[in-house]
Structures are given as C-alpha cells and as structure tokens.
Amino acid sequence: MFKKMIFALCVLLFTAGTALAALNINTATKEELQGLSGIGPAKAAAIIEHRERVGKFMSVDDLVNVEGIGAKTVDALRESITVK
C-alpha cells in the first residue's frame, strides 16, 4: 500500500512539474503553440513563419513582431512561454 502511494505521488509530482514548464517558442511545434491560450492555427503558423524568416526570438516580447499578436496576448502568455 505504501509503495503504491509513493508511486502515485511521484507520478503526480512529475506531471505537475511537466505541466508547469514554460514552452520554448523557438523550438515549439505548431501543435504545441496551439496548446497555448489564445493561440490558434493561424497564430501558431505565423509564429513559426516569423521564426523561420527572421530567426530566433531573443525575448518573449519579440512576439509582438508577429502579425496578429499584440502586447495583450504576450502579457497573457508571459508565464507560459520562454525563449532559449
């Protein structure tokens, strides 16, 4: 019984930590980007197109340079995304 509880706790902690990890917008796939609040297929495609055309995002704030993404969207995503 104790082993099952420890195992369940480990699984819970692992999945909670994974869910809280910020998404790297420099490497994220279209599907991963679409998992972000407010990012649908068109905006995800625009992020990838911008990334391929201009290069890596140097900061999260660079997302405002993507057509269709404004400062409010960036602020809403700030805790969910990162650049590496």
β pairing state of 81-82 and 23-24: parallel
Identify the pLDDT of residue 11.
53
CATH code (residue 70): 1.10.150.320
Does some domain include residue 52? yes
Does some domain include residue 45? yes
Does some domain include residue 15? no
With a cut of 50, list the residues of the chain below it in pLDDT. 15-18
Identify the pLDDT of residue 22.
97
Instruction: List the one residue out of 69, 68, 52 whose CA is nearest residue 60.
Output: 69
What distance in Å separates the CA atoms of residue 68 and residue 47, rounded to the nearest whole number? 9
Identify the pLDDT of residue 16.
47
pLDDT tens for 18-38 read 456 999 999 999 999 999 999
Does some domain include residue 34? yes
Give the residues across from 24 on adjacent strands: 82
